[in-house]
Chain A
């Protein structure tokens, strides 16, 4: 529990943080510290420099408007879980936030930190993919926006460059007749997702599926989209049978993880079960 030596900087603006990251190539950004600090205490991570963005103003907070919702990178999971505005527009994200780790983790951990860390079993990535969220990153050359579909690259690797800071998450505006839900099967020890599925469903005027967007986390090295299930739902009447048939394809082609808690086969099975449950909930909310 005693990390190796490191230098510590606490910038007060995003630009200062970016400048520090540019100067110290091996630096790590410290936000809530609930992945980074334990790893450092185990000495599995020994970054020589920490850039603590905790004192940067304006990075925390939720704004819900007609044009969509924005969530500052330093917003804690607990704040997100408790946001009534967010729950109204997008219950999947408040659901996901409420299921992260334990109370202590939710009170300190931040959405920006979690997304940048991109743990394969983190909850948010499934939600980001399903909702088509955008990440705002600020680097030495200014700000850019990355769509969730392109953000999660591989195991703990995102599209962020080493000198970029994730500052904000933007969720698209709520569409009429749409609903979303996040359903998770937690690891009994860590509460990370053994598998987690977020479904976003939009219905057409006849109550059929106009569009489906489904994100999966926990099952593979990186969060991914259940494209086959999405395609199978499109244009369909949504009932128990059609949902089950579509959900049954959710794990097709996935290279699922295997560990002491769940074999790859069981994870794949869970993905199909959770997908069906997430779709059902999303449909119920869309109606």
Chain B
């Protein structure tokens, strides 16, 4: 079931720094681990534009161990990147594409995101009523966590 994702977060860091940190596997891993319901076992960069990993993802008792990839499809430093993520777990899969647009505002960065997410398999066939909510939950927490992680790392640099 496709869900539309759209929003904006402010990152308390200059755009160039945000851009550079954005592609750091370690940043992504820390960000994901801050989302309630996600525990990342492994997340590594395998090539310039590809990451691979494994994570336990779920809400309350509905949980699965996902193997997945993140692929950067297009980017235009330091302002624009389109990437997709795919994961599978037994009879379930998730996937989605997202575009991030970074704009500098008074030394801070506005990060706008827009994309679609999809879920398939058993999750889609029995859990349609929750997909919208769960999707929103992960995106809201994820983008907030990403902004926080980016800002924290930027301060350390």
Contact = CB atoms under 8 A, between A and B. Distances in A.
Interface of A: 28, 36, 39, 42-47, 117-118, 120-121, 154-157, 187, 192, 221, 255, 257-261
A120 B133 contact: yes
A43 B60 contact: no
Interface stretch (B12-20, B45-53, B61-69, B108-116): B61-69
Given A43-B122, A120-B133, A257-B133, 14 more contacts: A42-B126, A43-B91, A44-B63, A44-B64, A44-B92, A47-B61, A117-B60, A121-B129, A155-B59, A155-B134, A156-B61, A156-B62, A157-B36, A192-B129
B61 A45 contact: yes
Contacts of B36: 154, 157
B44 to A, nearest CB: 26
A120 B130 CA distance: 9
B105 interface: no
Contact of B128 (A36, A39, A118, A259): A259
Given A155-B137, A257-B133, A44 B60 contact: no
Contacts of B126: 42, 44
B123 interface: yes
Interface residues of B, number: 23
Query: What does DSSP make chain A's interface, helix, strand, loop or mixed?
Result: loop
Contacts of B131: 259
A221 B132 CA distance: 9
Contacts of A221: 133, 136-137
Contacts of A258: 132
B7 interface: no
B127 interface: yes
Contacts of A187: 129
Interface in B93-147: 122-123, 126-134, 136-137
Contacts of A157: 36, 59-60
A187 to B, nearest CB: 8
A42 B91 CA distance: 10
B129 A39 contact: no
Contacts, number: 60
A39 B90 contact: no
The winner among B61, B63, B91 for most chain A CB atoms within 10 A is: B61
Nearest to B62: A44
Given A47-B61, A156-B59, A157-B60, A42 B129 contact: no
Contact of B63 (A36, A45, A259): A45
Given A43-B122, A156-B59, A257 B129 contact: yes
Given A44-B64, A46-B63, A155-B59, A260 B130 contact: no
B129 A261 contact: yes
A155 B129 contact: no
29 contacts: A28-B61, A39-B61, A39-B62, A42-B122, A42-B126, A43-B90, A43-B91, A44-B63, A44-B92, A44-B122, A44-B126, A45-B62, A47-B61, A117-B61, A118-B60, A121-B129, A155-B134, A156-B59, A156-B62, A157-B36, A157-B59, A187-B129, A221-B136, A255-B136, A257-B132, A257-B133, A258-B132, A259-B132, A260-B129
Contacts of B134: 155
A259 B132 CA distance: 7
Contact of A155 (B64, B128, B130): B130
B121 to A, nearest CB: 10
A155 B133 CA distance: 8
A17 B103 CA distance: 53
Nearest to B141: A154
Interface string B27-63: 0000000001000000000000000000000011111
Given A46-B63, A117-B60, A155-B59, A259 B137 contact: no
